């Protein structure tokens, strides 16, 4: 425009009743904007946003990062830093993290590293009666918060544990497998869902194609926003449908099949003896990043022996559990099918999708 647009106050929010004209400026409560000419432009606004004397963008950014790790921001009202929002629980910490972000040239990895290597983040999520009575919402950060991972990460965890995850970064959206009749529920059958092939089928959840009228069903089940409005803070629920998805969705069963092959292949037989104990240990490390307790080890060993025996009694059913991939010479169909059922159990543990 050769002439700048005239912007007016809309009385009572109605654009049909314009009020006084307003000039280009920033809120008076924040530092003034410096203009390179008579009127500020977008470049001046960009410089103002990241100016060292403007504390707001850095505070908002580190607060949202903190919320991702602890479930609650240092300012609980993540989308409202105004007078009607909550005061920060740790104002000095918020300011220090914001100054660290600015002084590091806005390197987000620096802030992530500071948080995850801190003693606060590395605390146990176990509750104590005295803490519960004094600080039930854990505002004082005397323990870690226990919560389920975000919707996009649930599938990523299963893909990573099984070895199917395609780690490529960037690129176009992909269309993983979804229930065949789901796309038909859209308006005028507008969703033409052609499942991606090759590695694209196993890319991270953040690359999943998202259609507003037909959102990916697994993401909706695990509380992903529906993209119709901006969401600064997600809600977390715990529903039976989530458990059914982990147990029955085709991608999770495929991950169980591949995880079983990974356990068997990466812990091979020794002198024709099945290393059951070592394979159980390896399965726990892949899924939960820890060793099993004695009780857990005994329970998984008992489960494998029971399932192995059932598979030996019905070889046809055992073969159907494995899919189309070939069985390696180091194992048998029945043994591998038993490990598929064990892997399926490990992927369905509450601990598998819960940060503690």
> Which pLDDT value is given to residue 253?
92
57, burial (CB in 10 Å: exposed 0-12, middle 13-18, buried 19+): middle
- Check if the beta carbon of residue 74 is closer than 8 Å to that of residue 63: yes
Provide the angle, in degrees to the nearest 10, between the axes of the packed helices 108-116 and 56-70: 40
> How far apart are the C-alpha atoms of 128 and 236, rounded to whole Å?
23
User: With a threshold of 0.85, does the pTM exceed it?
Assistant: no
> How far apart are the C-alpha atoms of 12 and 17, rounded to whole Å?
8
> How far apart are the C-alpha atoms of 1 and 18, rounded to whole Å?
21
- Check if the beta carbon of residue 80 is closer than 8 Å to that of residue 248: no
Q: What is the pLDDT of residues 37-69, one digit of tens each?
A: 888 888 999 999 999 889 899 999 999 999 999
> How far apart are the C-alpha atoms of 151 and 231, rounded to whole Å?
14
Q: What is the pLDDT of residues 103-116, one digit of tens each?
A: 999 999 999 999 99
Q: What is the pLDDT of residues 248-259, one digit of tens each?
A: 888 999 999 999
> How far apart are the C-alpha atoms of 192 and 299, rounded to whole Å?
45
Paired tokens of 339: 């490990």
Q: What is the pLDDT of residues 195-214, one digit of tens each?
A: 888 889 999 999 988 877 77
The phi, psi pair for 11, rounded to 5°, reads -65, 125
* Residue 71 CA from chain centroid, whole number: 12
Low-confidence ranges of the chain (pLDDT < 70): 180-191
Paired tokens of 174: 């992909």
- Check if the beta carbon of residue 202 is closer than 8 Å to that of residue 165: yes
C-alpha pair distances (Å), 33 with each of 61, 313, 346, 351? 20, 77, 56, 49
The residue written with tokens 């105004």 in the block is 82
> Which pLDDT value is given to residue 67?
92
């Amino acid at each position: 425009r050769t002439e700048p647009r005239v912007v007016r106050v809309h009385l009572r929010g109605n654009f049909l009743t314009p009020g006084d004209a307003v000039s280009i400026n920033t809120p008076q409560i924040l530092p003034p904007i410096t203009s390179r000419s008579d009127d500020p432009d977008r470049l001046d606004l960009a410089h103002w946003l990241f100016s060292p004397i403007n504390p707001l963008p850095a505070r908002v950014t580190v607060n949202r990062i903190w919320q991702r790790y602890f479930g609650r921001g240092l300012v609980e009202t993540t989308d409202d830093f105004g007078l009607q929002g909550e005061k920060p629980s740790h104002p000095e910490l918020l300011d220090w993290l914001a100054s660290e972000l600015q002084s590091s040239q806005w390197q987000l990895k620096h802030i992530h590293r500071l948080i995850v290597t801190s003693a606060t983040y590395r605390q146990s999520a176990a509750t104590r009666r005295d803490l519960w009575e004094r600080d039930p919402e854990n505002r004082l950060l005397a323990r870690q918060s226990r919560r389920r991972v975000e919707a996009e990460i649930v599938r990523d965890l299963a893909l990573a544990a099984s070895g199917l995850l395609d780690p490529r970064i960037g690129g176009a959206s992909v269309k993983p497998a979804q229930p065949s009749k789901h796309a038909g529920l859209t308006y005028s059958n507008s969703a033409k869902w052609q499942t991606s092939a090759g590695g694209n089928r196993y890319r991270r959840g953040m690359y999943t194609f998202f259609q507003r009228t037909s959102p990916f069903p697994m993401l909706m089940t695990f509380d992903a926003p529906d993209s119709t409005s901006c969401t600064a803070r997600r809600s977390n629920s715990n529903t039976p449908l989530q458990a059914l998805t982990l147990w029955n969705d085709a991608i999770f069963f495929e991950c169980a099949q591949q995880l079983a092959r990974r356990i068997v292949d990466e812990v091979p037989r020794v002198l024709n003896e099945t290393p059951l104990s070592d394979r159980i240990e390896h399965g726990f490390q892949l899924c939960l990043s820890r060793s099993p307790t004695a009780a857990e080890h005994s329970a998984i060993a008992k489960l494998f022996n029971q399932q192995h025996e059932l598979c030996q009694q019905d070889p046809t059913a055992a073969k159907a559990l494995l899919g189309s991939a070939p069985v390696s010479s180091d194992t048998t169909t029945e043994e591998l099918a038993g490990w598929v059922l064990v892997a399926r159990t490990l992927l369905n543990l509450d601990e598998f999708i819960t940060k503690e």
